[in-house]
């Protein structure tokens, strides 16, 4: 059975979005390096842009396939996938993943005639203080959830991009990776339509697990 793994990052914002420069800085400093450091490179990073963000670029030496595309072209890409199964994984444009993030997901991705989810534990990094928090347990899936689905003739895959991840519940078929292999960055640079409200995120911060000033790239070395 052939699997195709797509890591999907949405970078579409309205013209009036006030924090594009700040989001680009987080993307360049946090997200790109963490994707580059993946131990498994057999995936494609899909970065979906619009007319406001179409000038985005990434380094050419990341080691995996990268496709910067519009939403419309992405749908065309999906309709021409040559594989038996597709795994689509969500990664926000300001978040970070452990070097073994993709590896852990691919270890548990198995053939199944029905769609199912793979979810993973994650930490929260508060940008303003440098504090790292353990996330509280929730009945909803994480921002790093993956959807595994069989390719069906004449049907475009659903993908995690086309589904609102907050509407997915852990009560459905799901494989859980009980390791902290990702970090959600908490900051004020949000778009009310595209992003979760900052206040909502702060309410679910869990136990602080480090001192001020420690960054994910340093802490990540201690994750097992």
Residue in the block written with tokens 């990776």: 177
Q: Is residue 99 part of a domain?
A: yes
Residue 126 has which token pair?
Answer: 């508060």
Q: Is residue 217 part of a domain?
A: no
Q: Is residue 202 part of a domain?
A: no
Q: Is residue 195 part of a domain?
A: no
Q: Is residue 48 part of a domain?
A: yes
- What stretches in the chain show pLDDT beneath 70? 136-139, 162-172, 191-224
DSSP secondary-structure letter at 35? H
User: Whole-angstrom Cα distance, residue 20 to residue 53?
Assistant: 9
Total count of domains within the chain: 1
Q: Which domain holds residue 9?
A: 3-120+141-183
Q: What predicted TM-score, i.e. pTM, was given to this entire model?
A: 0.86
- Residue 8 is part of a domain; what is its CATH number? 3.90.550
Q: Is residue 216 part of a domain?
A: no
Phi, then psi, of 15 in degrees rounded to 5: -60, -30
Q: Is residue 189 part of a domain?
A: no
pLDDT per residue as tens digits for the range 131-172:
788 776 565 788 899 999 999 888 888 888 866 555 565 545
Q: Is residue 191 part of a domain?
A: no
Q: Please tell me the predicted confidence (pLDDT) of residue 213.
A: 40
Q: Please tell me the predicted confidence (pLDDT) of residue 77.
A: 94
The rounded radius of gyration (Å) of the Cα atoms in the chain is 17
Q: What residues contact residue 40 under an 8 Å CB cut-off, 6+ apart?
A: 100, 102, 103, 106
């Amino acid at each position: 059975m052939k699997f195709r793994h797509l890591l999907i990052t949405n970078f579409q914002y309205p013209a009036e979005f006030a924090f594009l420069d700040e989001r680009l800085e987080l993307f360049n400093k946090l997200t790109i390096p963490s994707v580059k450091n993946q131990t498994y490179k057999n995936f494609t990073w899909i970065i979906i842009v619009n007319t406001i963000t179409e000038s985005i670029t990434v380094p050419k030496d990341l080691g995996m396939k990268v496709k910067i595309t519009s939403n419309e072209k992405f749908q065309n890409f999906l309709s021409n996938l040559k594989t038996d199964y597709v795994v689509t994984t969500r990664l926000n444009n300001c978040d970070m993943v452990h070097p073994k993030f993709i590896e852990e997901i691919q270890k548990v991705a198995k053939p199944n005639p029905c769609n199912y989810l793979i979810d993973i534990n994650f930490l929260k990094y508060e940008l303003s203080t440098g504090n790292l928090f353990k996330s509280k347990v929730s009945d909803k899936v994480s921002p790093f959830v993956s959807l595994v689905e069989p390719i069906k003739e004449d049907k475009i895959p659903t993908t995690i991009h086309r589904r609102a991840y907050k509407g997915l519940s852990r009560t459905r078929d799901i494989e859980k990776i009980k390791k902290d292999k990702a970090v959600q960055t908490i900051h004020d640079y949000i778009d009310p339509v595209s992003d979760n409200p900052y206040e909502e995120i702060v309410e679910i911060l869990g136990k602080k697990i480090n001192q001020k000033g420690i960054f994910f790239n340093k802490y990540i070395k201690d994750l097992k």
